[in-house]
Each structure stands twice: as C-alpha cells, then as structure tokens.
Amino acid sequence: MFKAKDGTLFSLFALGVAVDQLTKFLGERIQGRLGPFSVEMHHNPGIFLQWLATESSLLRVVSVACFYGFILFIYFSLLSALSLRHQQTKVALTLFLSSITGNAVDRIGNGEVRDFLVLRIADRLFYANVADILMWVSLALLVASAWIYRRDFFPEKNSRIKHVLSRSYQYAWSAKVALASFCSFVTLMLFSVTYFHAAEDFRFIAWGLVIGIFFSAFTAFAAIRFSHRSAGALYAFEKYVEKLLEGKTNEPFSLRENDEHRQLVPLAKKLRAHFIQKGIQR
C-alpha cells in the first residue's frame, strides 16, 4: 500500500523531470564548457545506444510508450512492496523512473532525445544529459540499497517466499490478473496490426505474442507475490485462532508491516480477552 511519505517521492519525480527538461531547453541555447563537459546540442534518434535509430519515428514512439508502460508497472509494484524503512530504495527507484521519463518525454514529443553534455575520452565522444546522469546515480543507489537491506530483500527464512499459503485463492487471483493482462495486450496488438498494415508480417505478430505472454507471466508472478499480503494475513489469523482454542498461546496477535486485513488485529484481541475471561486461556 502507498504511504503518506510517497507524496514526497512523487514530488521528487516531478522535480527530476522538470530539471531535465529545463537543462535541455538551456542546452539548446547555450554553448561552452561545464567542468569536464562541453555543452553542445546533439539529437539522438535511437531508443538506446542508437537502437531503432534507422526505423520510422512512429515505430520508435510506439516502442518507447509500450516500454514505459511496463516500467511504470514495475515501479508501482515495487513501491507498494517496500516498507517504510526502505525509503532509500524508494528514492533510488523514483530517480530511475524520473530519468527514464525525462528521455521518454523527448522521444514521444520530438521523436528523438536531446543530449547536450559532451565528454571526450581519448578520440571518442560521449553524449549525455541530466536524465542520463540521474539514471547512473539511481543505479548506484539501488546497488547500495540492495546490499544494505540484503537480509530484508533476500531473507534466509521466509515461508511466504518458498510456499504458496492458499493455493486455490492465490492461483485463481494470479490467473485472473494474467488473463486480463494478456487480453488487453492482444486487443492493443490487433489495433497496432491494423494501423501498421502488418497482418501479413508473421514476425510482427509472433514477437507481439511473445511479448504479451512474457508480460502476462510477469504479472501472474507479481500477483502471487502481492496476494501473500492477503492470504498470509488470513492464514496467520486462522492458525492463531486454532492455538487459542487449543490453549497453546497467550500471545497477542500481530501481522506483518505490509499485510492486508488489519481489522483482524483488534478482532483477535477481543477473542483473546474473551477466552481469558471464560477461562479457556491460562
């Protein structure tokens, strides 16, 4: 779930995009030196490292838009999964999304990316912009966060990672999400095939189906992971009630930080008090 502090992250995201666009605007009008860089506007038509640079601008725009939608899905999924103590990781993810958005705005709006920072190393020239710098900074922060919180991200003992707690519920939920994702993708692909007049191109359709299946499988996996918050809470409550009835526990009931069904905590407290009053609990 999203927290109140996530509003600060969205402000950071907007600030990163605004600074990137402002510096690109100034880079088109100012030339000179900026530390080790020289300021000189360069237009990059490719998506990444000149990829698809020779293809039509429409194809590049559509490709970037689809890829950006996938990145957004991953971002909000990770943001929802992280707890409050992982604020550094959230900041790194937000900076990474901000850097991608800055360049995506260029590609979708202009069909090319504006690079204005030129670094010469030996006989080679490297072009960059503020979004590129933000991307490398955010990647460094993500690596540092993965190391700092490695025990949280990769716990040695976590039954929810190794097991599916409620197979019928979690698999059914995962299948519904994957089916909705795949049907939406096929619908968009049919419109794309019609628009590009590529129905006779088997490679276009085949690659579209491969991407759709991959994305659906990814959403199914994500759905299972996120359903742990709901299924895990119900499973924990079920086991707690069983122990109360058997008189095997006198501990208060608690849930994990990101679990759903928080209303079970006060309900368990009432049950525990009732059992103690009736003499069922020692």
* Res 53 pLDDT > 60: no
Q: Which of 20-24, 159-163, 196-200 has the highest mean pLDDT?
A: 20-24
Residue 54: band (very low, low, confident or very high) from pLDDT cuts 50, 70, 90: low
Distance (Å, whole) CA 127 – CA 42: 7
pLDDT digits (tens, 9 = 90+) for 8-47: 888 899 999 999 999 888 888 877 776 677 777 877 775 5
Please, are residues 129 and 114 in contact by the beta-carbon 8 Å criterion?
yes
Assess whether pLDDT exceeds 70 at residue 279: no
**Helix 130-148 and helix 6-27: axis angle, to 10°?**
150
**CA-CA distance, 213 to 101, in Å (whole number)?**
25
Question: What DSSP line would sit under 70-120, residue for residue?
Answer: HHHHHHHHHHHHS-GGGHHHHHHHHHHHHHHHHHHHHHHHHSSEEEEEEEE
Residue 254's pLDDT is 81
- Domain regions of the chain by residue span: 1-154, 158-282
Summarised one tens digit per residue, pLDDT across range 216-272 is: 888 888 888 777 778 888 888 888 888 888 777 778 888 877 777 888 888 888 888
Chain segment 90-143, per-residue pLDDT in tens:
899 999 999 888 888 887 777 778 888 888 777 777 788 888 889 899 999 988
Query: Rounded to whole angstroms, how far apart are CA atoms 121 and 116?
Result: 16
